[in-house]
Structures are given as structure tokens and as C-alpha cells.
Amino acid sequence: MKLDSYWNDTAPVFAPKPAELPASADVVIVGGGFTGLSAAHSLAKTGANVVLLEAGARVANEASGRNGGHVNNGLSVDYLDAAEKYGTQLARTWYHEFDAAVDTVERLVAQEQIDCAFRRCGKLKLATKPAHYEALSRSGERMLREVDADVEVLDASQVRAEIDSDRYQGGLLQKKSAQMHMGQFAAGLAQAAERNGAQIHLNTPVQRLQRIGRSRAHQVVTPRGTVRADQVLLATGATQHGNYQTFGWLRRRLVGIGSFLIVTAPLGPELARSLLAGSRNYVTVANIHNYFRLTPDHRLVFGGRARFAVSNPTSDQKSGAILRQALAEVFPQLADIGIDYCWGGLVDMSQDRLPHAGERDGLFYSMGYSGHGVQMSVHMGQRMAESMLGNAVANPWRDRPWPAIPGHFGPPWFLPAVGLYFRIKDKLS
């Protein structure tokens, strides 16, 4: 069993063109995940001099390359809850932005001819309890009326027809969702950004950002030298690279919550089809939930918040054991299947579980995707590029308040208590 992301291990490694760090740039992007790569691609196409700085040894090596492989439409919170809290008009606008985000990924894949097994498959949200099914039904009915004519509520027999498991009471199908190979997409997007003129520098952590006067320009200090940037975009997510003095404002507003995954040995096409005849993206409705899908080589990717802990080799192995047990409970026929991959990553969770993007003290930022970041990160890279070029209304999350999380000053010391709270909440729901 490899303690490594299946997506990164089975994709070509992007190697940027060797280059010295320039003394100046129109834009410096901090972070080589999907947000940063997408923004670099979009800005470079306009002719801007773009420099992307990634602290790690490869692009998309954190959340962008360590997720479940889903490209889902639908809000990162329940639509009904969002409509009641923020109003129908705003909830509808945000919902359609997630639709547009899937379209953005599909468009980039087609335009840049990225070979990443992208396909529209739909997402099926699964209810494990009658109360969950009732909630999904209410939400689905309102979504049909107000925001999405392509959703469908499935009863237990309809779900059983495409999932060979008796655990589910029904589900909500959102048909616009897609899936792809994350590592292949990352490599293809990085190549496209570089092909259009962006410079990508790996192993180049940002140590300090020093604003020049009251302008948007900054001195970006790294171990390899300093770059003067007219504009800076922070696309770091929940990364722990960089010091607290530089990134503390963001870290007080994001909680890096571990999400963990296992990937089975190849099942073969017949067994794979018998388990998941619909071959969609699947996610259970719970605070501590599971999500799964098949890969093109007929493996099962099975993930979830097995433990409220950060990712490291020891934590990943413990979480892998929990996930293997959960997999056997959902699919008893896989109780003895081999597990080839196990890994974890950090979800950049905001307090309201919605993205946050904008400008503060001359720095642009986009993050807080809260577990729904694949499509939205790619989309927001494009949107923030437009915003930085002067079209502020391109940012759908602009002008949203983003207060600090009380008691949170960096390392999430409170995660065990949060995990206990959600487990109790799931049991009582």
C-alpha cells in the first residue's frame, strides 16, 4: 500500500522550464494548486508577465491533487439552508456559479486538449437514514422549482438499481456533475499555463510579503531571491507553508481539516460495473460522510473524514484502516480486496463553508472552498484573473464579510472536539 495520492502517482510529473527567478513581474501567484494554475493560465493569455511560486516539489500536490476526483455542481452547503439564510436570489446566483465552474473545467480541458478522462457523470447524494432522505427530498423539490431542472430525487429501489449496497434509503441526483483524473489535469493545466507564457517555479516558498507604499505592488521574498510584483494573488488554501506573520490573517479564517482516501486494487470491469452500474460520483449525507467513485482502470476510490486530524503518514494509516472498515460495511463483497493507495490532505474549511475571495491590503486571495474546491478553484482562478484586470464584478464572492474564527490562531487544536460534536450530531439526526 502506497502512502501517496493515486492521482499524482499515476500522472506525468510536470517539470517546468529551468529559469532564474525574475526581479519583477506583473503578477506573482502564490500557490501551485488549481486556483493558482488556472489564474496563471488566464493572465498569461492576456500577455501579462506572470510568475507562479509553489513551495512544494510539484504542482497540485496538496488539496488539488489529494481529493476524491469529483467535479461537482451544487453548493458546498445545502441549497435550502443557503436560501433561507442568504435569500433565494443570492443562493440561486451561487448555485449557478458552481454550474459554471464545472463548465469552466470542461472548457479548459477541451481548449487545451488535456487528456484527463473528463466526463459528465452526475453526482448522487445518498441518504443512509430516513430523516436524511426526507431532507434531500425537500431540498430537491425546492431546487427543481427555483434553480435546477436537472435534479432528480431517487427512492431506495432506484438507488439499489445502480449501487450494489443495501445501506441507502434514497438519494438526490445532480446530473451536471463530472469527474476526471486530477493528476493528469494538473499536469496539463500547468503545461498550458507555461505554454502561454507563465513562469512556474517549484521549491520556492514565500517567506515574506512587503507592501510598497499604499499600492498593490509588493516585494515577494523567497529563499531564491525577491520579486517585485505589481499584483499578488494568494492561492494557498489551507497549506502550512510560510510563516504565521505573513499568512496569519488567512489562517485565522480557515481550518485545515483532514480528509482521507483509499484506492483498491483493480476490480476488473465486470465487478466494477456490478458495484456501481451508474459509475457516478457518490457522497453520503452526514457531517462525517463518505464519498466514492470508480477510476478508468476499474479501481474504487473511497474517502471521507475518517478522523478529525491532520494528514501525516501515521495519521493516514490510521485513517486508512477506518476507511477500509467503512468500505467493507458498504460493500461486503470487497471485504478482502487489496488496498493499493492510502493518503490524506487538508480541506480549507471556512466557518460558513462557502468560498471567500477578494482583495485585502493590496493582496488578492481566493480560497475556503470547503471540500468543493476542484471545480470552484479552477473557476475562481479564471474569475480572479478577470478581477485583477479591472473587472471587479467577475468575482461572485466579492464583498462578503470574513471574520476570524474565535479562538483559532493557526494549528486547529479544537479538531477532536469538533469531531466528537459531529459524530453525536450524526447519531441523533
Give start and end residues of each alpha helix (H) in 112-200.
130-146, 156-162, 182-195
- Between CA 375 and CA 317 the distance in angstroms is 28
Q: What is the pLDDT of residues 126-152, one digit of tens each?
A: 999 999 999 999 999 999 999 999 999
- Between CA 169 and CA 127 the distance in angstroms is 5
Phi and psi (nearest 5°) for 332?
-55, -25
- What 3-state DSSP class applies to 298? coil
- Give the confidence band of 420 by pLDDT, cuts at 50, 70, 90: very low
- Give the confidence band of 421 by pLDDT, cuts at 50, 70, 90: very low
Angle between helices 79-86 and 88-111 (to 10 degrees): 130
- pLDDT over threshold 90, residue 288: no
The Cα-based distances of 170 to 30, 82, 272, 286, 364 in angstroms read: 42, 22, 21, 14, 42
Give residue 138's pLDDT. Answer: 94
DSSP state of 332: G
Cell numbers describing residue 308: 478529525
CA angle 209/396/175 to nearest 5° reads: 120
Q: Is there a contact between 59 and 201 (Cβ–Cβ < 8 Å)?
A: no
Q: What is the DSSP string of 338-350?
A: -EEEEEEEEEEE-
Strands 225-234 and 24-30: parallel
Cell numbers describing residue 241: 507553508
As a whole number, mean pLDDT of residues 11-36 equals 97
Q: Is there a contact between 153 and 172 (Cβ–Cβ < 8 Å)?
A: yes
Q: What's the CATH class of domain 6-419?
A: alpha beta
- What 3-state DSSP class applies to 28? strand
DSSP state of 287: S
- Between CA 39 and CA 242 the distance in angstroms is 21
Q: What is the pLDDT of residues 52-88, one digit of tens each?
A: 999 999 999 999 999 999 999 999 999 999 999 999 9
Q: What is the pLDDT of residues 202-254, one digit of tens each?
A: 999 999 999 999 999 999 999 999 999 999 999 999 887 877 778 989 989 99
Burial 13-22 (b: 16+ CB within 10 A, else e): ebebeeeebe
Please state, rounded to an integer, the average pLDDT across all residues of the chain: 93
> How do the domains of the chain map onto residue ranges?
6-419
The Cα-based distances of 304 to 67, 82, 344, 395 in angstroms read: 10, 23, 10, 30
- Between CA 38 and CA 112 the distance in angstroms is 12
Give residue 407's pLDDT. Answer: 85
- Between CA 349 and CA 37 the distance in angstroms is 21
Number of neighbouring beta carbons within 10 Å of residue 244: 13
- pLDDT over threshold 60, residue 428: no
Give percent of the chain above pLDDT 70.
Answer: 94
